[in-house]
Amino acid sequence: VGANPSSPQASRSSLSDVARLAGVSPATASRVISGADYPVSATLRAKVEQAARTLGYTPDPVARAMATGRSRTIGVIVGAATDPYFAEVTHGVEERARRDGYLTILCSSDRELDVETAYLRLLREHRAAGAVLVGGAFDDSARLEAFRREVELATEQGMEVVCLAPRPHLAGVPTVSVDDRRMMADLTGYLASLGHRRLAFVGPADGFSTSDVRLAGLRETVAALQLPEPMVLRTGFDYHAGRQAAIRMLEDDLPDAVIGFSDETALGVLMTLRDAGVAVPERVSVAGVDSTREAEFVGLTTISIPMRELGAAAAARIIDPAREAGLAREVIKHRIVPRQTTARRVVPAMAAARA
Amino acid sequence: VGANPSSPQASRSSLSDVARLAGVSPATASRVISGADYPVSATLRAKVEQAARTLGYTPDPVARAMATGRSRTIGVIVGAATDPYFAEVTHGVEERARRDGYLTILCSSDRELDVETAYLRLLREHRAAGAVLVGGAFDDSARLEAFRREVELATEQGMEVVCLAPRPHLAGVPTVSVDDRRMMADLTGYLASLGHRRLAFVGPADGFSTSDVRLAGLRETVAALQLPEPMVLRTGFDYHAGRQAAIRMLEDDLPDAVIGFSDETALGVLMTLRDAGVAVPERVSVAGVDSTREAEFVGLTTISIPMRELGAAAAARIIDPAREAGLAREVIKHRIVPRQTTARRVVPAMAAARA
DNA sequence: TTGTACGCGTTATCAG
DNA sequence: CTGATAACGCGTACAA
């Protein structure tokens, strides 16, 4: 009779073993081991600790999850695991989690709300301590209700859910992120200050939360500075999307400067333009967002976002919710990182004169 | 009396609820739900399935893990979560795992054997179905014994451990990987065929499994072709290591061609050489290993390794060990991907003539 | 302050 | 083929 018959278990010792060796009841042993703030005499406490050491006892995480409804496990839900931005944030979560013996569960959603919903459910069933929603999302109204419901269930069950980018339809969920609107406004201002007037934005289709906000920031600034209407190319998130956009620009019309939704997209634009013989930054300036390592490698102008720290902060919030219970909406400072893909605009006449 | 008091549980239904509604015993319900190959009459089976549907019942993974000693969870242990190679393999694992409702646990070890050991133990305690050891490792003899012991314990407990790169001191563990020695021999041959004689290798310190093997492959071929002794720069794994190595080469002496331990390293070399005004591939050829997306972006010559497929294969092996029980040491084919950072050697005289 | 006993939700054994 | 029932290892009301 009993479970787990096939495992030749290397004789792991259980809490009752510890209790027996220490000559106390399992309850007392539990109170000592689990660090409960329950009064236990110093004598017994010492005995239990000694016994635990002798037996090399380690609490069983699964049994604990069973009993407490909580496991030392953190889910991180990203749009694409291989995207450098997501990878960096995830690493931040993992490092912080590891410090406290938490396990990090990687959930890559292909930016599908349904997949996020399914993952959230799985995490809840596994009693994850919390979940980090790293990226933005499409405003997929058909799937949205199920998603919200799942977030609600998770929260009700005591899971900590943290957003690392604002989710418009997820009010009440603590969020720590940069100010996308302002960030893009700053970047636009920076490019304008270099003399660029005809701007282009390359990003995902309409309806993606963070992209929409960034685009709004761009448009506001363009309007305020009385620049011409910006070109908007909605080809996607990644490197390939950047390539496509660049090809379209090459066929159509070159702007003064291009802003990518992310470094990935901007890099796609950059490489494709250069391959086609377009001088960057002399003819066209290119800038991205994220400050991934790739961007550093090629000297791409970008906006610095503390990716690891964001991940670590989210993890910290999940591991110890009490500590940072206060702030529900924290804003991280961004910073423009000017590098070699942006430069003062060279007006055609001057260019001709120089040539 | 009882556990989990604080959770306002959204009334999840349990197996006994299903059993009650179906008018059968929990045992029968379990046999139907868990898909055990245990005889249950069609009538009762239908009743249970109906009841489960009505209640929207889902088995509890934690309780299952408790009872069976196995959870639908796969650990993937990598050297650095943000390294593109590891990220890609991890994504492969995740995609395959997701298909079967498995969760992927990301374990980033900073290439420290101790961290790998600790993670392995944590995974075992959490009843992970298996673990994927993705990268190589330093031959850290002091820590090695504990590591091996942990692998052994994991295996004894029924976990599937799979290596995606040979671990010399882990005999008996199923491994699916490329042939590092031959791969590097091929690449060396390729560079030699372009007329390059003075080769350089940039990689981690001595004693790192995969690097040692690759270097051996290089050396063999160099000897066979009677090329001069190669330069070996042991600066590390990543982009920065490549930069350092390049700086040293610039100060010291430029080879005809540089091979990086990985694409990351090679890219560091490439960018730094170009920043310093060294023409690649005209003056120096540069090649890497992995065929990461980054390498594609900048047109780096490299060796193609099917990263996602490797991850997926490892996951498949863990999810369904019976299926592929046979082969314990599978070798994946590699392929040289010539791109724009390698070219036929231009001998100084010719270069002068051309200039 | 300590101990007893039950429950978490399954699976597996053994008796019908 | 079906059903009681004992585990799995822990946390925790409740009684002492």
Tell me the C-alpha distance between B311 and B88, whole Å: 8
With CB atoms and an 8 Å threshold, state whether B126 touches A62.
yes
Residues of B in contact with A80 (CB under 8 A): 91
A301-324: pLDDT as tens digits = 999 999 999 999 999 999 998 876
Tell me the C-alpha distance between B228 and B297, whole Å: 32
Residues of A in contact with B127 (CB under 8 A): 62
Q: What is the mean pLDDT of residues B270-298?
A: 96
Helix A209-224 vs helix A180-193: angle between axes, to the nearest 10 degrees? 40
| CA–C1' nearest nucleotide, residue B6 | D12
DSSP-derived secondary structure letter, A13: -
The pLDDT of residue B324: 65
Residue B234 CA distance to nucleotide C11 C1' (Å): 53
Tell me the C-alpha distance between A52 and A45, whole Å: 11
pLDDT band at A351 (very low <50, low <70, confident <90, very high): low
Tell me the C-alpha distance between A29 and A44, whole Å: 9
Give the residue among A27, A89, A77, A22 at the shortest CA–CA distance from A55.
A22
The residue length of chain A stands at 355
DSSP-derived secondary structure letter, B6: S
pLDDT band at B304 (very low <50, low <70, confident <90, very high): very high
Residue A53 CA distance to nucleotide C15 C1' (Å): 42
Q: What's the sign of the alpha-carbon dihedral B244, B247, B248, B249?
A: positive
> Which amino acid belongs to residue A175?
T
The pLDDT of residue A327: 60
Map residue A347 onto helix, strand or coil: coil
Residue with tokens 């556990």: B3
Rounded to two decimals, what is the model's pTM?
0.94
| B155 CB contact with strand C at below 7 Å | no
B73-106: pLDDT as tens digits = 999 999 999 999 999 999 999 999 999 999 999 9
For residue A232, which phi and psi values (nearest 5 degrees)?
Answer: -125, 120
The pLDDT of residue A52: 97
DSSP string, B278-317: --TTTT-EEE-SB--HHHHHHT-BEEE--HHHHHHHHHHH
Q: Are A289 and A183 in contact (CB under 8 A)?
A: yes
From edge to edge, which strands make up the β-sheet containing B128-133? Answer: A329-332, A175-178, A160-163, A130-133, A73-78, A103-108, B103-108, B71-78, B128-133, B160-163, B175-178, B329-332
Residue A3 has pLDDT above 50, yes or no: no
Q: For residue B142, what are its two tokens?
A: 């002091």
Residue B13 CA distance to nucleotide D2 C1' (Å): 23
Write out B97-148 in H/E/C secondary structure. Answer: HHHCCCEEEEEECCCCHHHHHHHHHHHHHCCEEEEEECCCCECCHHHHHHHH
**CA–centroid distance for B46 within its chain:** 43
Q: For residue A330, what are its two tokens?
A: 């924290």
| A21 CB contact with strand C at below 7 Å | no
Residue of B nearest to A274 (CA): B298
Could you tell me what percent of chain B has a pLDDT over 70?
Answer: 93
A54-99: pLDDT as tens digits = 999 999 999 999 999 999 999 999 999 999 999 999 999 999 999 9
Residue A95 CA distance to nucleotide C16 C1' (Å): 55
In the 33-62 stretch of chain B, whose C-beta falls under 7 Å of nucleic acid strand D?
38-41, 43-45
B32-87: pLDDT as tens digits = 999 999 999 999 999 999 999 999 999 999 999 999 999 999 999 999 999 999 99
Residue with tokens 């299952």: B64
Q: Are B251 and B217 in contact (CB under 8 A)?
A: no
Q: What's the sign of the alpha-carbon dihedral B183, B184, B189, B193?
A: positive
Of A60, A115, A127, nearest to B125 by CB-CB distance is A60
Of A61, A84, A294, nearest to B125 by CB-CB distance is A61
Residue B31 CA distance to nucleotide C5 C1' (Å): 29
Other CB atoms within a 10 A radius of the CB of residue B46 amount to 13
Peptide bond into A281 cis (omega under 30): yes
Mean pLDDT, chain A, whole residue set: 93
Of B60, B65, B81, nearest to A87 by CB-CB distance is B81
Residues of A in contact with B66 (CB under 8 A): 3, 62-63, 66
Residue of B nearest to A12 (CA): B125
Q: Give B311→chain A minimum CA distance, Å.
A: 13
Of A87, A88, A156, nearest to B10 by CB-CB distance is A156
Give the residue among B188, B84, B71, B74 at the shortest CA–CA distance from B135.
B84
With CB atoms and an 8 Å threshold, state whether B82 touches A65.
no
| A326 CB contact with strand C at below 7 Å | no
Residue with tokens 């399992």: A26
Q: What is the mean pLDDT of residues A203-223?
A: 97
Residue of B nearest to A150 (CA): B10
Q: For residue B55, what are its two tokens?
A: 């209640």
Could you tell me what percent of chain B has a pLDDT over 90?
Answer: 88
* Sequence-ordered alpha helix ranges (H) in chain A: 15-22, 26-33, 42-55, 61-68, 84-99, 113-125, 141-156, 180-193, 209-224, 239-252, 263-275, 293-298, 307-319, 348-354
Q: Which nucleotides of C are covered by protein (CB under 7 A)?
A: 1-14
* Sequence-ordered alpha helix ranges (H) in B225-262: 239-252
Q: Give A224→chain B minimum CA distance, Å.
A: 36
Could you tell me what percent of chain A has a pLDDT over 70?
Answer: 93
**Residues 6+ positions from A46 with CB-CB distance below 8 Å:** none
pLDDT band at B171 (very low <50, low <70, confident <90, very high): confident
The residue length of chain B stands at 355
Q: Are B330 and B175 in contact (CB under 8 A)?
A: yes
Residue of B nearest to A292 (CA): B82
| CA–C1' nearest nucleotide, residue B34 | C11
| A65 CB contact with strand D at below 7 Å | no
DSSP string, A262-298: SHHHHHHHHHHHHHTT--TTTT-EEE-SB--HHHHHH
Residue of A nearest to B84 (CA): A82
Residue A28 CA distance to nucleotide C3 C1' (Å): 8
The torsion angle over the Cα atoms of residues A177, A182, A184 and A190, rounded to 10 degrees, is -130
Tell me the C-alpha distance between B224 and B7, whole Å: 70
**Residues 6+ positions from B240 with CB-CB distance below 8 Å:** B268
| B67 CB contact with strand D at below 7 Å | yes
Map residue A130 onto helix, strand or coil: strand
Residue B1 has pLDDT above 70, yes or no: no
Q: What is the mean pLDDT of residues A135-162?
A: 95
Residue B244 has pLDDT above 70, yes or no: yes
B311-320: pLDDT as tens digits = 999 999 999 9
Q: Give A33→chain B minimum CA distance, Å.
A: 17
B106-115: pLDDT as tens digits = 999 999 999 9
Residue A14 CA distance to nucleotide D9 C1' (Å): 7
